[in-house]
Amino acid sequence: MRQFIVVGLGRFGTSVATTLANKEHDVLAIDIDEEKVQEISNQVTHAVQADATSEETLQKLGVDEFDIAIVAIGSNIHGNILATLVLKELGVSHVVVKAQDNLHGKLLSKVGADKVVYPERDMGARVANNLVSANVLDYIELAPNYSIAELIASDKLTGKSLKELDLRSKFGVNVLAIKSNDDVNVSPEAEAVINANDVLVVMGQEKGLSQLKHY
């Protein structure tokens, strides 16, 4: 099991920390606000009241022993950037940081953030994509212009094998999994046949995914 530090226990940080803890990972949750620490204390391995911008404090907490840190300080941008810098200085190998906008994200990369996430922006895009097409169940952007989508198989797709459909050459899309009722066929072979009401998990560029949605 991996060891995680979560800094900032607002809505996002709390959700990250409790989800990791529910998956049996070791989680050290840190917030400057004692009340937030109390609220989460029986759901994670350790919860500590501390100012994450203090190098000395984080050092005493032994943060260098942890594999991954998530900086989820939101509105306090100054604290968010400083905490990122301090965690990197102390040698945490992978630091993931929540950013407010692109400029903030750029700055975070410059101070050493290994990954920058934009939860509000990404969730907004995901919800919008789910709303605009009835057959799209879920949508995750992997990189600009590249996504994974969950689609309900249209009539044109059902009763045919992946080989016959040849979605890769038609739409540049790879089928990662086929879900039928409670069964999931991960990395389906070319002979796998799509049945009515199956859900396809597909990966590709926006253009190809959009063509497949309307196929």
CA distances from 204 to 147, 178, 211 (A): 6, 15, 11
Residue 203 binds ligand ADP (CB under 6 A): no
Whole-angstrom distance, CA of residue 175 vs CA of residue 191 = 12
Determine if 74 is a binding residue for ligand ADP (CB under 6 A).
yes
**Shortest Å, Cβ 99 to ligand ADP:** 12
Task: Tell the smallest beta-carbon distance from residue 80 to ligand ADP (Å).
Answer: 8
Q: Which of 5, 6, 37, 53 binds ligand ADP (CB under 6 A)?
A: 53
89 CB burial (10 A radius; 0-12, 13-18, 19+):
middle
Residues pairing with 148 in the sheet: 140, 203
In eight-state DSSP terms, residue 193 is B
- Binding flag, residue 49, ligand ADP (CB under 6 A): no
Q: Residue 31 interacts with ligand ADP (CB under 6 A)?
A: yes
Q: Report whether 108 contacts 81 (CB < 8 A).
A: yes
**Does 99 participate in binding ligand ADP (rule CB under 6 A)?**
no
Nearer to ligand ADP, 51 or 114 (CB): 51
Nearer to ligand ADP, 35 or 183 (CB): 35
DSSP, residue by residue, 154-175: PTTTTT-BHHHH-HHHHHS-EE
30 binds ligand ADP, rule: CB under 6 A: yes
Give the count of residues interacting with ligand ADP (CB under 6 A). Answer: 21
Residue type, position 95, single letter: V
Residues that bind ligand ADP (CB under 6 A): 7-13, 30-33, 36, 51-53, 72-76, 79
